[in-house]
Chain A
């Protein structure tokens, strides 16, 4: 048992707790892609909590950085990074969700759509990484 798995599980529980809090307080699914993309639309009555959530997400990173070292290794760069960003942006909007929305919240609700979406994006991700390996990228 690797310590990383323990941190993973505990961190996961915190993510889950965040989802439950949003559901309990605002009655919404914690899908980060949806929350973010809706901030790009005309402000409606829900704009405030979405903005607050994204602010908290970014600010949380800022605060943690000042408290302890966080390891982040990003091997993608330049063109790959740009394409990745575009694909994630396009894909999450067309697919109505991402790992938090479908993978965690949707699956917790036993949503067929989320289960299928999660299987598809996991498969696509695994295939992409495999192809990168094959081509030595």
Chain B
């Protein structure tokens, strides 16, 4: 995944924000990234089907089916954070590997946010 993120340019917040800059300097690269990814997963998931995982006892997929307020609220909050720095979890972690100070700071606070949210959900 790391190599894919780097080659696709998605570790570069400027390119990500370029896509979100729909009404400004629009850069559609992210759409091509998703197209490439979805092509492979759509086919690959169907090929693997329900067969037993090679290293696990069973397939374990998300069980929730309904669209609830937490989903929408969470997605909205995530989207704002994403638009602010152009980082989502994957690219930020690759950024840490690249030794980028800003990525390290981002990931630190992302982990803090995750801990806080987990505590909140446990109530």
Partner-B contacts on A (CB < 8 A): 2, 4-20, 23-30, 32-33, 36-37, 40-41, 49, 53-54, 56-65, 70-77, 80-100, 102-109, 111-113, 116-118, 120-130, 132-133
Q: A40 touching B118 by the CB < 8 A rule?
A: yes
Q: Is the interface of B mostly helix, strand, loop or mixed?
A: helix
Q: A74 touching B2 by the CB < 8 A rule?
A: no
Ordered by A's residue number, 28 sampled pairs between the chains whose C-beta atoms are within 8 Å are: A8-B33, A9-B36, A11-B7, A16-B4, A17-B44, A19-B1, A26-B53, A27-B52, A32-B89, A33-B114, A57-B90, A57-B97, A60-B97, A65-B97, A71-B9, A74-B13, A74-B14, A86-B81, A88-B81, A95-B74, A95-B75, A96-B70, A117-B72, A120-B79, A124-B82, A124-B83, A128-B82, A133-B23
Least Cβ distance of B2 to chain A in Å? 2
B22-69 at interface with A (beta carbon < 8 Å) = 22-24, 27-42, 44-45, 47-48, 52-56, 58-62, 64-67
Cβ 8 A contact of B1, one of A56, A84, A93 = A56
